[in-house]
Structure 1
Amino acid sequence: MAAITPNSLSPEILGREDMRRALEEHDFGAVFALAKKYGGLSQNRIAVLCGLTPGKVSTIINGSQRVTSFDVICRIADGLRIPGRLIGLAARSWEHEEQVALPRVERQEERTAPDGVPWRPGATVGMATHLTRSDLLMDRRAATRALAGVTIGGAALLDELEPWLQAAARDGRPARRGRLGRLEVAELESTARAFRAWDHKFGGGLRRKAVLGQLNEIAGHLEEQQTDEIEQRLYRVMAQLAGTAATMAWDSGLQRRAQDYYRLALRASHAGDDMQFGANVLAGMARQMLYGNRAHDALELIRFAQDGSRKAAGPRVRAMLHTREAWGYAAMGRVSAFERASGQAAEALAEADGDRDAEPYWIAYFDEAEFAGVTGGRLLDLARDDPRRHAEKAAQQIGEAIERRGPEARRSHALDWIGLAECHFLMGDARGGGDHAHRAVDAAAHTRSNRVRAQLGELYPYTVGHGVPRVVGEARSRIRDLLAK
């Protein structure tokens, strides 16, 4: 009965962004809820179509039970007429029997934009509007589901990003004076800069919705016709706000949502003809992959960024990209490649003059202190496998970062102290590790970064054991108390 009933999901419903995301993440509670809201299917009808009981459908919708059975997933795909490619399955048998129309935007743009959003400025505005509206309306339950979202990588991601290397297409709208003038755009640029500085200092997602609100407003301005100059500047502001939103989402544990905003930031930088910031966005995506233990994907993204920004990138941007490259090599245990890339980063940074205004404001943070901290962190990665060779060097670099940058960059400052404590534990200096762990807790208490708390959790096992010095036991209690908050 489920195979022949016409009461299934239409191509238009399947083409909705929220439906596609729910299918990608196998969030069948959201799938069923959207099917009821937009597809006109009752709860009982969904149960009949999918071979489930109405009670089972109810528990899936209210989040009490997640669908993990492969057999049930197949029954849902067949019952609701969901093409296999949308749900991570092979093509279903009924797909060969009838040609199921793809959503219109996917048919037209599939080769250039696998996520269904073409690389045109107007489509980028639509993507921004949808992302921000859905995020601003996200309730606690939806936020909890979003924590389970996984990022995409490999060829699927790289193919989607390929149009970044091509010149931006125009929408063909006649340019005319819009509501915004240069003064108003300058104020928006200043706001984007302030949000970025706040995130760099504190970390976490406390002001994420304020950033999203501003991003949604930029999208609204871009829906109007502006002069070419104003439009380009607005797209650059959109890129910077989307990049900040991505970092905040990532720092809050919303990995898939962070990747969505990174992709938006890349498209907006492309529309704004800002290849340098596009390279910075790709570096952010690579960092996310590295934290997810996907070094190969990260290196592919960095090479892509280096290829695309070769003629545009200043010395600080080139240095930052080389450090991300070195990070990937360190994660793969390729010590010689790590040292080579780190040397290239040092050479590029040496080319930067003392005037930070010569380069974009958003890369000004990458100075000798940041370089020391990043290099020390990567040496620490290597020291976990070979502490005798790398732990002391890591401690020297991280110590230099702490001395140079101070506590004003609170998230980085906390990560530095956590790293330095781990270095001393690896070197067998338990007392020194305990002292630095106390400093790490002090610094972590001043940031809302989930990343800082995750790193602190990884430090905790070093403090556990019988016969540890008193300072270590006290640090253990403080770490536990902070993580329990």
Structure 2
Amino acid sequence: MGACGVGGSDAGGRTTGRRPNGQLGSWFLRSGWSKGELARQVNRRARRIGAHHISTDTSRVRRWLDGEQPREPIPRILSELFSERFGSVVTVEDLGLRAAPQAPAVSGVDLPWAGPQTVSLISDFSRSDLMLGRRGFLGSSLALAAGPALVEPMQRWLVPTPAGDRPKAPPEPVTGLSVPELELLESTTAMFRTWDAQCGGGLRRKAVVGQLHEVTDLLQEPHPEATTRRLFRCAAELAELAGWMSYDIGLQPGAQKYFVLALHAAKEAGDRPLGSYVLSSMSRQMIHLGRPDDALELIHLAQYGSRDCATPRTQAMLYAMEARAYANMGQPGKCKRAVRMAEDTFSDIGLEGGPEPDWIRFFSEAELNGENAHSYRDLAYVAGRSPTYASLAEPAMRRAVELFAEDEEHQRSYALNLIGLATVHLLKKEPEEATALAQKALEVAQRVRSERVNTRLRKTVDTAAREFADVGEITDLTDLLTAQLPESAEAV
């Protein structure tokens, strides 16, 4: 749908020559927002990315609808807000707005698959994030990729790097890292991962980005091949974690960029299981953005690329994510099969022996139950709020909540599964049980700096308030949520 109308007018009724933005107007009308609510959301998002100079009001929103082109980062903010509202990617162009020109270092996902370029891109992007992210300029330079524009470049992960493109190790390295120094880098990454699970993505994201930038500095020095691969593995883990933390606090375009760079680094490290893990994170983001078809393509790519080298724990995690994608596509038969495969493969853990990488340690019995329960819960929504699928979700979700309640390390997962169980009770028309669980989740959310937790909790309570407005406990919880839960978590 294109822009319509023959011209706008100013406050005095004079013709301005602008045409109303019909595309933005259509999305705005379907959103159900008022002009004031959209202005408030733009201001909140701007503050979260550090663009404190932005102060939008209803008259400014009216001018955008009348055809005025806002300056960056507002087009990107509007794209993110409408994407979240409709559960699918809504680009700047879909809104009839003009995107700012993008610098090569921070735009697109179709990047060269070569070691030196990967190091340079990670270095440039992490430096830009550290220097400019607080003021919002980094976010305004990014756009989410989806569909073939995302999936096709990622397929090149499996194409062997031509021998002539591989960096040659020096015969006598000019510099070198000792084994204890490498182990310290790796243990620091594991520590950051633990902090993220305990405290959410908002507290230590900048520290992770800074560490990633330091590793790219090391990668620009000559090392033996084994050391270079180990450093690339460290860079891949840190870039994935930076992406995951960005995703957790709602910085979706930046999260996707970090994931893509992490996959490039994993390829240079020759670590296909790690690459499959990065692809699973990208898949989870696509489910969150309402793109289950893309999520499934990414998971199948991960499974194919690591089929002969991933541990049972990693394979079980990939099957669980496959089930989530099928659930959101409304394919119950394939979803149930993937759930069974995840459970069967998880039961093989420990049979082969040998240590597992730290990045997959999170996928515990609690996580398995939580993922499979969310698959059935998602099926219930896709199937028109089916009580049958909600009943399938309940025992696994309850088991996940019980296990996470005893796990001090994974508090964000505890909160997310409390919220998930609350949604199951809402599907079963049990508002009192849902309210009690949501109130527990609120207590955890106040300790965990995660916009993802906050957003899901607000949506769940809003749903309960709409459907069960006469239940006093829900009214009380709504008031408590407004008073105790901050509206946004600013990235640090």
TM-score, normalised with respect to structure 2: 0.74
CA distances 1:210-255 after superposition (whole Å, capped 9, x unpaired): 1111111100011000111111111110010001000011111111
Q: Distance in 2 between matches of 1:196 and 1:62?
A: 30
* Structure having the higher Rg: 1
Give 1:397's aligned residue. 396
CA distances 1:412-458 after superposition (whole Å, capped 9, x unpaired): 10011111112112212222122112111112111111100110121
Please, which of 179, 182, 195 is the counterpart of residue 182 of structure 1?
179
Q: Distance in 1 between matches of 2:111 and 2:343?
A: 39
Please, which of 168, 173, 189 is the counterpart of residue 172 of structure 1?
168
Is 1:476 paired with 2:472?
Answer: no
CA distances 1:289-341 after superposition (whole Å, capped 9, x unpaired): 00000011111111111111111111011111111110011001111110001
Q: Distance in 2 between matches of 1:418 and 1:164?
A: 36
What amino acid is aligned across from residue 151 of structure 2 in structure 1? L
Q: Distance in 2 between matches of 1:252 and 1:285?
A: 15
CA contact (8 A) 2:442 2:485 kept: no
CA contact (8 A) 1:398 1:419 kept: yes
Task: State how 1:273-284 maps to structure 2 within 5 Å.
Answer: 273-284=270-281
Q: Distance in 1 between matches of 2:477 and 2:274?
A: 40
Q: Helix, strand or coil for the counterpart of 1:137?
A: helix
CA contact (8 A) 1:417 1:436 kept: yes
Give 2:44's aligned residue. none
CA contact (8 A) 1:410 1:443 kept: yes
- What percent of counterpart residues are identical? 34
Task: State how 1:434-473 maps to structure 2 within 5 Å.
Answer: 434-464=435-465, 468-473=470-475
Q: Distance in 1 between matches of 2:71 and 2:395?
A: 53
Q: Distance in 2 between matches of 1:224 and 1:186?
A: 18
Task: State how 1:301-450 maps to structure 2 within 5 Å.
Answer: 301-353=298-350, 358-384=355-381, 385-406=384-405, 407-408=407-408, 409-450=410-451
CA contact (8 A) 1:175 1:225 kept: no
Distance of aligned partners of 1:363 and 1:147 in 2 relative to their CA distance in 1, 3 Å threshold: farther
CA contact (8 A) 1:149 1:254 kept: no
Task: State how 1:157-306 maps to structure 2 within 5 Å.
Answer: 157-168=150-161, 169-177=165-173, 178-306=175-303
Give 2:10's aligned residue. none
Task: State how 1:71-150 maps to structure 2 within 5 Å.
Answer: 115=109, 117-142=111-136, 146=139, 149-150=142-143
What amino acid is aligned across from residue 388 of structure 1 in structure 2? P
Shift, 1:140, TM fit: 3.8
CA contact (8 A) 1:176 1:225 kept: no
Shift, 1:139, TM fit: 4.7
What amino acid is aligned across from residue 393 of structure 1 in structure 2? L
Distance of aligned partners of 1:454 and 1:62 in 2 relative to their CA distance in 1, 3 Å threshold: closer
What amino acid is aligned across from residue 124 of structure 1 in structure 2? T
Distance of aligned partners of 1:356 and 1:375 in 2 relative to their CA distance in 1, 3 Å threshold: farther
What amino acid is aligned across from residue 164 of structure 1 in structure 2? W
Q: Distance in 1 between matches of 2:72 and 2:351?
A: 58
What amino acid is aligned across from residue 260 of structure 1 in structure 2? K
CA contact (8 A) 1:245 1:261 kept: yes
* Residues 217-226 or 117-126, more deviating: 117-126
* Residues 124-133 or 360-369, more deviating: 360-369
Distance of aligned partners of 1:147 and 1:416 in 2 relative to their CA distance in 1, 3 Å threshold: farther
Give 1:90's aligned residue. none
Q: Distance in 2 between matches of 1:444 and 1:260?
A: 27
Shift, 1:286, TM fit: 0.5
CA contact (8 A) 1:212 1:245 kept: yes
Q: Distance in 1 between matches of 2:254 and 2:172?
A: 35
Relative contact order, higher structure (CA 8 A, sep 6+): 2
Q: Helix, strand or coil for the counterpart of 1:453?
A: helix
Q: Distance in 1 between matches of 2:287 and 2:323?
A: 11
Q: Distance in 1 between matches of 2:116 and 2:369?
A: 41
Shift, 1:405, TM fit: 2.4
Shift, 1:288, TM fit: 0.4
- Give the CA RMSD over aligned residues: 3.1
Shift, 1:175, TM fit: 4.5
Q: Distance in 2 between matches of 1:370 and 1:421?
A: 17
Structure 1 residue ranges without an equivalent (≥5): 1-55, 88-102, 106-112
Q: Helix, strand or coil for the counterpart of 1:138?
A: helix
Distance of aligned partners of 1:433 and 1:60 in 2 relative to their CA distance in 1, 3 Å threshold: closer
Distance of aligned partners of 1:147 and 1:401 in 2 relative to their CA distance in 1, 3 Å threshold: farther
CA distances 1:118-158 after superposition (whole Å, capped 9, x unpaired): 21111111011101110001254416x72795420222222
Matched length: 397
CA contact (8 A) 1:133 1:216 kept: yes
Q: Distance in 2 between matches of 1:444 and 1:65?
A: 27
Structure 2 residue ranges without an equivalent (≥5): 1-67, 79-91, 488-492
Shift, 1:115, TM fit: 4.8
Q: Distance in 2 between matches of 1:284 and 1:219?
A: 22
Shift, 1:176, TM fit: 3.3
